[in-house]
């Protein structure tokens, strides 16, 4: 039993946190896995003799239960402190079990500018605060360049837990955790939302566009209460650290953000 737990833990740490079939396969039993008699013949499938059940049915039930529970929590949370405590108690996202910390938002609860990233990285997971590693240092400098300090803003992520190895969040993880972000937006009620990177933009704006197409444009986000808040997307600081040639575009986006903020 102890071994099984350790193997599962190893898989989880490596990022294998989804079940792809209803029945487990014995990975070491080569007879079972190579026995072609077990593979349905195409003709049989076409004649409807073999019924193919959709895989992951249990998993999608688990996900929708987790999403419902996240929605319920958000209805109850009347303050950011309530919400933080409830997110820390929430067990519906498996990322929590491979993470060291729940990284909730940080900053001014009455901020005019809300900044949204993707998910905590290793430094954030260690320290329990968003954007405190290399990307965070660049973000601080970007904000300073338009006379904003991180303490003036509110900084958060799509996910409050680090995906193992900093992999991109799965759509299931985003679906389960999105209500927490949406509730933070309602409670803070910022004048403008600055979105960093494609994952965060796609999750919040519910689209699949590239960051190159999204960046630099103001797109309205509407809360569940009908409040319309302009968003501006730009490159993620981690990408800018790797691709200095895009910094000029990021600078143009920061100036747009500042101008819009002055108008609002």
Interacting residues with ligand URA (CB under 6 A): 117-121, 124, 130-131, 135, 157, 238
Nearest approach, Cβ of residue 238 and ligand URA (Å):
6
Q: What is the DSSP string of 54-93?
A: PTTHHHHHHHHHHHHHHHHHHHH--SHHHHHHHHHH----
| Smallest gap from residue 127 Cβ to ligand URA (A) | 10
For the bound state, the minimum distance from the C-beta of residue 258 to ligand URA, rounded and expressed in Å, comes to 22
Local structure of 109: helix, strand or coil: coil
> 198 near 210, Cβ under 8 Å?
yes
> How many angstroms separate the CA atoms of 263 and 260, rounded?
5
Based on CB atoms, which residue is closest to ligand URA, 56 or 80?
A: 80
Give the shortest CB-176-to-ligand URA separation in angstroms.
Answer: 18
Q: Can you tell me the distance from the alpha carbon of 230 to that of 172, in angstroms, rounded to the nearest whole number?
A: 26
Of the pair 104, 221, the CB lying nearest ligand URA is at: 104
Tokens of 126: 């260690």
Phi, psi (degrees; rounded to nearest 5) at 212: -65, -35
Among all chains, which residue has been given the structure tokens 């190579």?
34
Which C-beta is closer to ligand URA: that of 144 or that of 241?
Answer: 241
Give the shortest CB-185-to-ligand URA separation in angstroms: 16
Chain position whose Cβ is nearest to ligand URA: 117
Nearer to ligand URA, 190 or 197 (CB): 197
Which tokens belong to 227?
A: 């409040």
Residue 14: alpha-carbon gap to chain centroid: 18
Choice between 47 and 163, CB closer to ligand URA: 163
């Amino acid at each position: 039993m102890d071994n099984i737990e350790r193997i599962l833990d190893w898989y989880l740490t490596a990022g294998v946190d989804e079940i792809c079939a209803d029945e487990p396969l014995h990975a070491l039993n080569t007879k079972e896995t190579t026995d072609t008699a077990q593979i349905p013949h195409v003709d049989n499938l076409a004649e409807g003799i073999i019924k193919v059940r959709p895989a992951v049915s249990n998993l999608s039930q688990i996900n929708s239960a987790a999403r419902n529970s996240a929605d319920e929590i958000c209805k109850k949370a009347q303050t950011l402190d309530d919400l933080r405590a409830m997110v820390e108690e929430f067990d519906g996202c498996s990322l929590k079990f491979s993470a060291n910390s729940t990284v909730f938002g940080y900053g001014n609860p009455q901020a005019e500018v809300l900044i949204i990233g993707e998910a905590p990285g290793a430094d954030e997971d260690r320290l329990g605060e968003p954007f405190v590693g290399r990307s965070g240092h660049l973000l601080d400098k970007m904000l300073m360049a338009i006379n904003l300090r991180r303490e003036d803003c509110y900084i958060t992520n799509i996910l409050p837990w680090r995906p193992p190895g900093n992999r991109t969040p799965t759509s299931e993880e985003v679906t389960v955790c999105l209500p927490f972000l949406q509730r933070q937006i309602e409670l803070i009620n910022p004048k403008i939302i600055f979105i960093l990177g494609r994952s965060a933009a796609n999750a919040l704006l519910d689209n699949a566009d590239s960051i190159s197409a999204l960046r630099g444009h103001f797109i309205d986000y509407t809360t569940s209460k009908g409040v319309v808040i302009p968003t501006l997307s730009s490159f993620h600081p981690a990408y800018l650290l790797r691709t200095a040639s895009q910094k000029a575009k990021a600078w143009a986006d920061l100036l747009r953000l500042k101008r819009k903020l002055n108008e609002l």
